[in-house]
Amino acid sequence: MKMNELKLIYFSPTGTTHKVVMETARSIDLKSVSFDLTIKKDLKPVAKFAPNDFALFAIPVYYGRVPALFLKYLDLFSGNGTPAALVATYGCREYEDALLELKTEVEKRGFKVIGAAAFPAEHSIVNSIGARRPNKADLKEASEYGISLNRIIKKEDSFASFDLKVPGNTPYRKYGKNVLFPKADVSLCTECSACAKICPAGAISLDNPKKTDHDKCIGCMKCVRFCKQKARYVSAFKLNMAAKKLTKVCQSDKKGPRYFFKLHRHLLFKTAVRKIYKQISIGRQVSGLSRPFGLPPSQKNRRIRLYCRIRRFLTPGHLISFNIIM
């Protein structure tokens, strides 16, 4: 199908999701238009996408779910059988029901999801968890994800038959209660109101930026991250308590992203095959195979049939076979 434009719809208070979605978009051969939902907007319809547009929805994971504020803004967009792909970033714990919820909500609004990916990133509250992620390796993976999506939209004439399976459970897990509300240090705050202008939830008043509305605040930490005066902060006691709790369940060295595509399209997994072949050709054991084995370099020119469980590309438990001509 000849595609028209790439539409980027993302929510990225601390900037990590923005980095991933932009790196993905660079590998897709379409002119792009961005819709940044991190900026507070009026709830009026913004855009209706055509069947030959391609939409990329990107979110950070909050409490294993899609941010409630993003879902509210999602009503601004509608598709007409428009193909779409998903990106979720999470703070090195788990993304749980987020991809399933995002897929369901996106498809309710007239889109057809053809690909999804979850990327570990720096935790928005405890920055030491997953510090400086997405790193170069993560962004390279994001680029490869974009390459795979680009192949799909170029080869497919219709997306009506796509029925992508992503992990998650229904009913979705409950949202956690936010208890970390940023405050303003009155000795440092210049009342420039920059924090009020960038708050996606409208929880900071333009007239009195030293106060935070706890009923509206979603704990995204955007005001803390972007205050030039370093006047916005979270209670040190509560932050330390959160750090102790989260450090137990989060892994800063969380392995790379998980991808989900339609299974019968073997060519979409070229990247994974290349990596496996590289390991085989130098005689290493290959992790993720149905049974681990290695092959000496002398056999690298043989035709080999591999039965692989590619954890980063498939839902756990799905077996897929590859014919690799070496």
pLDDT tens track for 11-53: 999 999 999 999 999 999 999 999 999 987 666 767 899 999 9
Which range among 162-176, 180-194, 219-233, 253-267 shows the weakest confidence by mean pLDDT? 253-267
pLDDT-above-70 percentage for the chain: 79
Q: Which residues belong to CATH 3.40.50.360 in the chain?
A: 6-172+252-261
Q: Report the CATH number of the 6-172+252-261 domain.
A: 3.40.50.360
User: Strands 111-120, 82-90: parallel, antiparallel or unpaired by DSSP?
Assistant: parallel
Torsion, CA 290, CA 94, CA 273, CA 297, rounded to 10: -70
The amino acid occupying position 225 is R
Report the C-alpha gap between 242 and 219 in whole angstroms.
13
Task: Give CATH 3.30.70.20 domain extents, the chain.
Answer: 183-234
Q: Which two tokens stand for residue 311?
A: 């954890």
What integer best gives the mean pLDDT of the chain? 81
pTM above 0.75, yes or no: yes
pLDDT at 169: 93
Name the 3-class secondary structure at 57.
Answer: strand
φ, ψ for residue 6, nearest 5 deg: -95, 125
The strands making up 82-90's β-sheet, listed across from edge to edge, are 32-36, 6-10, 54-60, 82-90, 111-120, 258-261
Cα–Cα distance for residue pair 85/97, rounded to 1 Å: 16
pLDDT band at 281 (very low <50, low <70, confident <90, very high): very low
Per the model's pLDDT, the better-predicted residue between 142 and 178 turns out to be 142
The dotted CATH code for 183-234 is: 3.30.70.20
Give the per-residue pLDDT at 185.
92
Is pLDDT above 50 for 203?
A: yes
- Biggest CA–CA distance in the chain, Å, is 73
Q: What whole-number distance in Å separates Cα of residue 326 and Cα of residue 158?
A: 33
Residue 136 in this model has a pLDDT that exceeds 80:
yes
Triad 30, 74, 70: Cα angle to 5°? 105
Q: Is 265 exposed, middle or buried (0-12, 13-18, 19+ CB in 10 A)?
A: middle
pLDDT tens digit string along 224-264?
Answer: 989 999 999 998 888 888 888 888 888 777 777 787 876 43
Whole-number pLDDT of residue 119? 94
Using the predicted structure, report yes or no on whether residue 222 has a pLDDT greater than 90: yes
Residue 278 burial (CB < 10 Å; 0-12/13-18/19+)? exposed
The residue whose two tokens read 């055509």 is 50
| Helices assigned H by DSSP within the chain | 16-26, 68-74, 98-108, 136-155, 194-198, 222-226, 236-249, 270-281
Dist CA 127 CA 237 (whole Å): 16
Distance CA 246, CA 129 (A): 8
* Mean pLDDT of the region 98-113: 96
